[in-house]
């Protein structure tokens, strides 16, 4: 195992741990944003390592998948919170209104589904996931009193999808046909 492989695995493990800690709703917003930023930096390191070093193979690829999936599922929520904090620091809570019910869990399942479809080599599945989410939320978004709920839904979904796509890129090494763990 080379130094770049250790860097990749270390970045994914550290990012997954930071994302897990940031997932806690008991933390104040500042540590959540800091942990999300750390998880994002770890994901960026992993993406750059895969981009410049190429696709991983064999056992290493399996470990990358084991570490990147939790990062995909857990990291997108805190990343969305960090983006909301950066977008409007003064009155983000006032404009966003109450978060939509079940949003954190729906987002985690959305990221898991997106990573799964991309790793399986079926990118069209991402459109199915997003359509199901949009149709499921449409009545709540239409009935919302302010535009803040719709804007929050769009921003959160985009951050979540980009996070999941980056994790899928790390798992597949940028290869489009999907993950082939049994390939010699």
Phi-psi region of 168 (alpha: psi -120 to 50; beta: other; left: phi over 0): alpha
Position 178 in a domain: no
- 95, part of any domain: yes
pTM: 0.81
181 domain-assigned: no
Domain limits at 56?
3-172
Query: Would you say 53 and 1 are in contact if contact means Cβ atoms under 8 Å apart?
Result: no
Q: Is residue 57 part of a domain?
A: yes
Total count of domains within the chain: 1
pLDDT in tens, the chain (184 residues): 788 888 889 999 999 999 989 887 788 878 888 999 999 999 999 888 888 877 677 778 888 889 999 999 999 888 988 888 887 765 544 444 455 667 788 889 999 999 999 988 888 999 999 999 888 888 777 776 666 777 888 888 999 999 999 999 998 887 654 545 444 4
């Amino acid at each position: 195992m080379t130094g770049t492989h250790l860097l990749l695995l270390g970045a994914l493990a550290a990012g997954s741990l930071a994302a897990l800690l940031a997932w806690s709703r008991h933390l104040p917003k500042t540590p959540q944003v800091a942990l999300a930023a750390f998880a994002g930096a770890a994901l960026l390191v992993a993406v750059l390592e895969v981009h410049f070093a190429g696709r991983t193979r064999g056992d290493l690829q399996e470990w990358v998948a084991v570490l990147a999936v939790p990062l995909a599922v857990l990291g997108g929520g805190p990343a969305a919170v960090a983006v909301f904090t950066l977008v409007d620091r003064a009155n983000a809570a006032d404009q966003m209104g109450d978060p939509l019910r079940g949003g954190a869990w729906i987002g985690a399942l959305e990221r898991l589904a997106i990573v799964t479809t991309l790793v399986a080599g079926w990118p069209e599945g991402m459109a199915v996931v997003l359509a199901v989410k949009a149709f499921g939320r449409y009545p709540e978004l239409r009935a919302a009193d302010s535009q803040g709920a719709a804007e929050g839904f769009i921003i959160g979904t985009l951050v979540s999808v980009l996070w999941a796509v980056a994790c899928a890129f790390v798992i597949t090494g940028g290869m489009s046909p999907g993950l082939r763990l049994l390939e010699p």
